[in-house]
């Protein structure tokens, strides 16, 4: 019996039943010890796997996971915990997420057995045009680095509105209550670890070019020292304003005023030679921002229901299409190289289609239903051969006219997308589940901190294509006023018979899609437990001539077997992370009797933090 069939059989027998995973890997002597550690300066104990009941949280940071667990222990639900965790991540992971960015919130309601989503993606200001990233003097796209480190790249933030909408719709606490723990961490400080220092060092040159950023993140002009306390009184003050006034403080109040002032007049440090372009945002852009309630994407995979985020994100359609393609083949751990070959080819195909068809559905006719159709997937699957590799860039298919056969054409290369972002998952004692990915784009965002406010602004608008990818072909991802740039965020919830089985997601720019896909393949097809599926070496094919690979994969026997089939691998870049890593998964898996296993990265990004309310062996 395959791992997937065993999982489904167990689920059918006991409603939520799944096989027992790896033994509990505690690094604290007890839950009480973790709570005691979290009450002071020292961070809570860090665990990669925690199993128990009463609810769970997994994120990249123990301070953040503990914030969510505290909400659950005091009677809050998964939505309350998710917002509390996200707010804490804005303090302890400020280079990946915060109120200066946006994200996508996927929610499973245990009472109705339905999945709902919130699109809190940033938007282009009203003054943004399709050629806003084109230099009028040359007619060419401005240099990417020049776009990133500018007010021009800053989209209208959606994270605060997402928190408020989620709490209003499904939560049980106020925004102020959800922000309480994060505000305290910002006030009292957190302990600087190796990862925080390393990420600061990677951004040091550009951080020094902005006075407000250098003042906050380079105390006394130096990198933060591991083991010292890092305080952020500006962010604590901002969170208190949001607690008192609600998100109107940002979208119509003083916080928003300060954001717009910073975007239009970036605080360039004296002596900096960096060319910093002003942004286009006005206060009216903030006042007019709205999140969008969207139906999730949905497909099935061998009897399981897979829900994720619809466009403006490409995550749900691309992961879903790749799974639909893979459903035409038998993947097994008995021939792991062939399974990985099919995974790479399915990802290559899905990315070719994603780049052509997916954008903001308010501005383009995105064929979401057709991209996720089984007929289209079968048509695309015929391109895959067991003994050879497709050539990238592969041409897209036409989901509006499937049945075109298996002729391979030439397409366009995947555009750049920043590798940062963060992800969290949360569940509660009632069975509600959240999978939430949020971001300020690349690590460090635009590098511009709002003076006195304690948070970085995003550079999300660089996710737009600066110029059309293919001349004469409509491009759904060009900039525009009020438009959401295409994203790869893929917060995912897998259910069986209406009950949750797995919640999963990851940071990593475009590699988010392949990370979520590979984790699901590892778990559902290759017989790995969820902790093993998360820890396994990653490879990421995104319709490119080469496939990014982590060092552990490059040392594996599967590399040789796949290269014999024509696959080509390169070491994953470490442009904005200290190590050549791909993604950083946070996931949950649900078992019988209310048991849940929370899983975080054991090593990537310094290791994540998985916690449950009531631990069991």
CATH number at residue 438: 3.60.20.40
Residue 329 lies in a domain: no
Residue 49 host element (H or E): strand 49-59
pLDDT (average), residues 86-99: 98
3-state DSSP call for residue 408?
Answer: coil
Q: Is residue 337 in a domain?
A: no
299 part of a folded domain? no
Catalytic residue selected from 421, 514, 547, 597: 421
Tokens describing residue 614: 């009531």
Cα 460 to Cα 148, 257, 450, 509: the distances in Å are 9, 20, 16, 11
Q: What is the 3 state secondary structure string of 467-515?
A: CCCCCCCCCCCCCCCCCCCCECCCCEEEEECCEEEEEEECCCCCHHHHH
**Cα separation, 229 vs 222, whole angstroms:** 14
- Residues 343-378: tens digit of each pLDDT: 999 999 999 999 999 999 999 999 999 999 999 999
Quick one: average pLDDT of 209-236?
A: 97
Would you say residue 21 has pLDDT above 50? no
> What's the confidence (pLDDT) of residue 469?
81
pLDDT-derived band at 415 (thresholds 50, 70, 90) equals low
Give the pLDDT confidence score for residue 24 in this predicted structure: 27
Region 39-59: what's the mean pLDDT?
89
Average confidence (pLDDT) over 299-305: 97
- Residue 529, classed as helix, strand or coil, is coil
- The total domain count for the chain is 1
pLDDT for 617:
76
Bridge-based pairing of strands 569-571 and 547-549 is: parallel
Q: Which range, of 227-236, 302-311, 566-575, 584-593, averages the lowest pLDDT?
A: 566-575
Q: Which residue has the higher pLDDT, 416 or 111?
A: 111
Encoded tokens for 66:
């503990």
What per-residue confidence (pLDDT) applies to 412? 72
Percentages (nearest 5) of helix, strand, coil residues in the chain = 35, 20, 45
Q: What is the mean pLDDT of residues 483-502?
A: 97
Q: Is the pLDDT of residue 84 over 60?
A: yes
Return the pLDDT at 471.
Answer: 80
Mean pLDDT across the chain: 92
Pairwise CA distance, residues 173 & 466, whole Å = 41
pLDDT-derived band at 6, boundaries 50, 70, 90 = low
Would you call 266 helix, strand, or coil by DSSP?
coil
Confidence of residue 3 (pLDDT cuts 50, 70, 90): low
In this prediction, residue 417 has a pLDDT band, given cuts at 50, 70 and 90, of low
Interval 266-288 mean pLDDT: 97
The answer to the question of residue 92 being in a domain is yes
CA dihedral of residues 330, 335, 340, 345 (deg, nearest 10): -50
66 touches 38 (CB < 8 A): yes
Query: What is the average pLDDT across 211-233?
Result: 97
Question: Per the domain annotation, does 541 fall within a domain?
Answer: yes
* Residue that is written with structure tokens 């059918």 in the block: 12
The reply to whether 468 falls in a domain is yes
318 falls within a domain? no
Across the range 211-223, mean pLDDT stands at 97
Residue 41: what pLDDT? 65
pLDDT band at 402 (very low <50, low <70, confident <90, very high): confident
Structure tokens at 568: 């080509």
* Catalytic residue check, 123: no
pLDDT at res. 578: 67
Q: Which residues contact 446 (CB under 8 A, 6 or more apart)?
A: 148, 149, 150, 151, 153, 154, 440, 456, 457, 458, 459
Q: Looking at the domain assignment, is residue 368 inside a domain?
A: no
The pLDDT value given to residue 576: 57
Statement: residue 325 has pLDDT above 60: yes
- Is the model's pLDDT at 413 over the cut of 50? yes
Q: How confident is the model at residue 410 (pLDDT cuts 50, 70, 90)?
A: confident
pLDDT, position 573: 85
Q: What is the reported pLDDT for 574? A: 73
Percent of the chain with pLDDT over 90: 87
445 burial type by CB count under 10 A (0-12 exposed, 13-18 middle, 19+ buried): buried
Mean pLDDT confidence for 406-423: 75
Enclosing domain of residue 289: 3-293+416-615
Q: Do residues 292 and 119 touch, judged by C-beta distance below 8 A?
A: yes
pLDDT-based confidence at residue 36 (cuts at 50, 70, 90): very low
Please determine, for residue 596, whether its predicted confidence score (pLDDT) is greater than 80.
Answer: yes
Distance, in Å, from the CA atom of 322 to the CA atom of 332, rounded to the nearest integer, reads 17
Assess contact for 89 and 64: CB atoms under 8 A: yes
Taking residue 267's Cβ as centre, other Cβ atoms within 10 Å add up to 18
Q: Residue 411: its pLDDT value, please? A: 76
Give the pLDDT score at 22. Answer: 26
């Amino acid at each position: 019996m395959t791992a997937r069939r065993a999982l489904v059989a167990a689920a059918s027998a006991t409603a939520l039943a799944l096989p027992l995973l790896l033994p509990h890997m505690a690094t604290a002597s007890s839950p009480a010890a973790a709570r005691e550690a979290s009450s002071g300066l020292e961070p809570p104990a860090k665990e990669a796997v925690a199993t128990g009941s009463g609810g769970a949280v997994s994120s990249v940071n123990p301070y953040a996971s503990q914030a969510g667990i505290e909400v659950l222990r005091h009677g809050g639900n998964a939505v309350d915990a998710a917002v509390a965790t996200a707010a804490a991540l804005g303090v302890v992971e400020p280079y990946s997420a915060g109120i200066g960015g946006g994200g996508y919130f996927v929610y499973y309601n245990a009472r109705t057995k339905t999945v709902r989503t919130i699109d809190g993606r940033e938007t282009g200001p009203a003054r943004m045009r399709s050629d806003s990233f084109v230099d009028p003097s040359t007619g060419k796209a401005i240099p990417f680095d020049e776009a990133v480190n500018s007010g021009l790249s800053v989209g209208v933030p959606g994270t605060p509105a997402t928190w408020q909408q989620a709490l209003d719709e499904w939560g049980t606490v106020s925004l102020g209550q959800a922000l309480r723990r994060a505000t305290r961490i910002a006030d009292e400080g957190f302990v600087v670890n190796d990862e925080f220092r390393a990420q600061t060092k990677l951004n040091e040159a550009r951080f020094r070019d902005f006075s407000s950023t250098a003042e906050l993140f380079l105390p006394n002009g130096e990198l933060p020292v591991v083991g010292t306390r890092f305080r952020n009184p500006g962010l604590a003050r901002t969170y208190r304003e949001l607690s008192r006034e609600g998100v109107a403080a940002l979208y119509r109040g003083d916080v928003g005023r300060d954001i717009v002032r910073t975007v239009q007049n970036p605080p360039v440090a004296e002596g900096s030679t960096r060319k910093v372009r002003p942004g286009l945002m006005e206060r009216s852009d903030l006042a007019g921002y709205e999140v969008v309630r969207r139906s999730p994407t949905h497909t099935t995979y061998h009897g399981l229901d897979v829900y994720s985020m619809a466009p403006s994100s490409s995550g749900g359609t691309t992961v879903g299409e790749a799974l639909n393609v893979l459903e035409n083949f038998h993947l097994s751990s008995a021939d792991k190289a062939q399974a990985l070959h099919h995974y790479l080819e399915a990802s290559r195909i899905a990315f070719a289609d994603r780049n052509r068809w997916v954008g903001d559905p308010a501005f383009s006719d995105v064929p979401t239903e057709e991209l996720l159709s089984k007929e289209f997937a079968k048509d695309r699957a015929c391109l895959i051969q067991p003994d050879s590799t497709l050539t990238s860039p592969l041409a897209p298919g036409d989901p509006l006219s499937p049945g075109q056969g298996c002729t391979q054409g030439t397409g366009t290369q995947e555009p750049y997308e920043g590798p940062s972002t963060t992800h969290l998952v949360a569940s509660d004692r009632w069975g509600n589940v959240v999978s939430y990915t949020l971001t300020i784009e690349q690590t460090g965002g635009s590098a511009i901190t709002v003076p006195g406010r304690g948070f970085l602004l995003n550079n999300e608008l660089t996710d737009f294509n600066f110029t059309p990818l293919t001349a004469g072909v409509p491009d759904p991802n060009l900039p525009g006023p009020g438009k959401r740039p295409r994203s790869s965020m893929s917060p995912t919830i897998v259910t069986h018979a209406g009950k949750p089985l797995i919640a999963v997601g990851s940071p990593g720019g475009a590699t988010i899609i392949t990370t979520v896909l590979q984790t699901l393949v590892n778990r559902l097809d290759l017989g790995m437990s969820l902790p093993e599926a998360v820890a396994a070496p990653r490879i990421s094919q995104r319709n490119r001539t080469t496939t990014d690979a982590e060092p552990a994969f490059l040392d594996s026997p599967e590399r040789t077997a796949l290269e014999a089939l024509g696959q080509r691998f390169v070491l994953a870049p470490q442009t904005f992370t200290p190590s050549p890593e791909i993604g950083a998964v946070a996931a949950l898996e649900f078992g019988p009797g209310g048991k849940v296993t929370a899983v975080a990265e054991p090593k990537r990004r310094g290791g994540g933090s998985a916690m449950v309310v009531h631990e069991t062996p």
